[in-house]
Structure 1
Amino acid sequence: MSADCFQAGMVFFFTSFLSLFIAFFIILLGLYTFVAAPDLLVTEVWHYIMGNISPICQGFVIISLLAMAMSTADAYLNSCSVMFSNDIVSSIMDKKSISYDRQLRLAKATALFIGIITIILSFYCSDLFCLVQLRFDCFIPIVTAPFILAVLGFRGGTRPALVGMATGVLTILAWNKWIEPATAMNGAFIAMVANGLAMMVTHYVTPKKNKEICMLQCILFANH
């Protein structure tokens, strides 16, 4: 929806800044809880916070959580269903042969299917932290690096994107199997970096068209 890459980059910058600002207050809340009750178990932190604030604040917290969950859920369901019905299916089939009514029905079916799968997953895994970690492991190693590179002006082809995504998936799987049990550290960021590096290496090493594009970029950069 941005006018150009510069505007998209500015939106990404301000969003990141506001996210850091919110994360700062979350860290302050965690530090305050640790100082007030240093011997508190991890599973009891949320109950301690909710039990030591006023009923009005408890109501605001519950309303905020419900609003945040519902707004995020319907936004993701809408985006996913539109991407599948309009982008993925249209790229496989002839776009003119798919009417808008069929795309709308396909989007509704996709939203219903993904919503049911999400509900089953939420009942299967009752730990919110595990669900958040699963989201990080599925989203950050695959999507974040291509998105950041696109915002910064990197223009690669299909092959670099697929190689980068595959590298991110393999990196997070290997990290969760061998490294995370020993270090207790999440490897989503490392997998994201591996994804970006694999994309750039594949883009600049691939012969023919990609090399011609690289030479043209070098010429334009030298002229500027």
Structure 2
Amino acid sequence: MIQVFIVVIGLFTFVSAPDLPKEEIWSYIVTHIPPLFKGFITISLLAMAMSTADSALNTCSVMIAHDIVQSLQKEIFDARKLKIAKTTTLIIGLLSMMVAFKYKDLLKLVYWSLDCKVPILTAPFILAILGFRTGSFTALIGMATGLLTIVAWNIWIEPIIEIDGAFPCMLANGLAMLAAHYLLKQPEGTGWVKPDNVFRQIQQEDSRKRAERKEAIRNS
């Protein structure tokens, strides 16, 4: 039904203004629809933005209160973590509003989001998938390295070569984590961990099912 309505709206717009440039289609639709539907569009856009924003704010507050603060301060009460999470939500929300009001270009905001996520979070995520286990302090060293590197890249390097530095800064994050892991004392059981028995059993089960599907296809 949603696809049908989209097609009908596009068809009606084309019939009403066949020579309309594609850059003016959205403004033409908004201008010529009743006020009630303008309200529906506004509510829908706000709902989509709020659903994305509150999920990101919740994730950010939990990461700071639980993952970062608790890793640095072992004995911390739940009431204090909740207070830290609320404060983090307020501060990050206000900073996000300031950034959104300053940069009107959506592509610029996308670049900002990539600069915030890729250099800081991608390297620990990939290393964890590959079986690398380390301490929380080492992970924070790598993430801080990625943050400082992307800031320095945007200030001094990107204006010269005009290349986004998310990927090189992600590599710097991973190398800093590996260097800190082997140079600093780490807890027992860290390092490169082999797949456990449960994971091997899952792989074997997947291989068996894949072979059975191939055999069934061949027989059919």
- Normalised by the length of structure 2, the TM-score is 0.57
Residue 63 of structure 2: aligned partner:
83
Among candidates 139, 145, 149, match of residue 117 of structure 2:
139
Is structure 2 residue 108 aligned with structure 1 residue 127? Answer: no
For residue 188 of structure 1, report the CA deviation from its aligned partner.
0.5
Q: Aligned letter for 1:78?
A: N
For residue 75 of structure 1, report the CA deviation from its aligned partner.
0.5
CA spacing shift, 1:106–1:159, aligned 2, 3 Å: closer
For residue 199 of structure 1, report the CA deviation from its aligned partner.
1.8
Partners of 1:170 and 1:130 lie apart in 2 by 20
Alignment of 1:11-30 (within 5 A): none
Residue 139 of structure 2: aligned partner:
161
- The number of equivalent residue pairs is 170
Partners of 1:167 and 1:71 lie apart in 2 by 31
Partners of 1:187 and 1:81 lie apart in 2 by 26
For residue 191 of structure 1, report the CA deviation from its aligned partner.
0.8
CA spacing shift, 1:63–1:191, aligned 2, 3 Å: farther
Mind listing any 5+ residue stretches in structure 2 that lack a counterpart? Answer: 1-20, 201-220
CA spacing shift, 1:82–1:161, aligned 2, 3 Å: closer
Please say if residues 119 and 147 of structure 2, whose CA atoms lie closer than 8 Å, have aligned partners that are also in contact: yes
Is structure 2 residue 108 aligned with structure 1 residue 108? Answer: no
Alignment of 1:1-224 (within 5 A): 47=23, 50=26, 66-91=46-71, 92=73, 94-95=75-76, 98-100=77-79, 102-203=80-181, 205-206=182-183, 209=186
For residue 122 of structure 1, report the CA deviation from its aligned partner.
1.6
For residue 154 of structure 1, report the CA deviation from its aligned partner.
0.9
Mind listing any 5+ residue stretches in structure 1 that lack a counterpart? Answer: 1-44
Alpha-carbon RMSD across the aligned residues, in angstroms, is: 3.9
For residue 76 of structure 1, report the CA deviation from its aligned partner.
1.0
For residue 193 of structure 1, report the CA deviation from its aligned partner.
1.7
For residue 62 of structure 1, report the CA deviation from its aligned partner.
7.4
Larger Rg: 2
CA spacing shift, 1:151–1:62, aligned 2, 3 Å: farther
Please say if residues 121 and 143 of structure 2, whose CA atoms lie closer than 8 Å, have aligned partners that are also in contact: yes
Q: Deviations over 1:71-120 (max 9, x none)?
A: 2211011112233334444442623xx244x5444433432332222222
Secondary structure, aligned partner of 2:128? helix
Same amino acid, percent of matched pairs: 50
Partners of 1:185 and 1:173 lie apart in 2 by 14
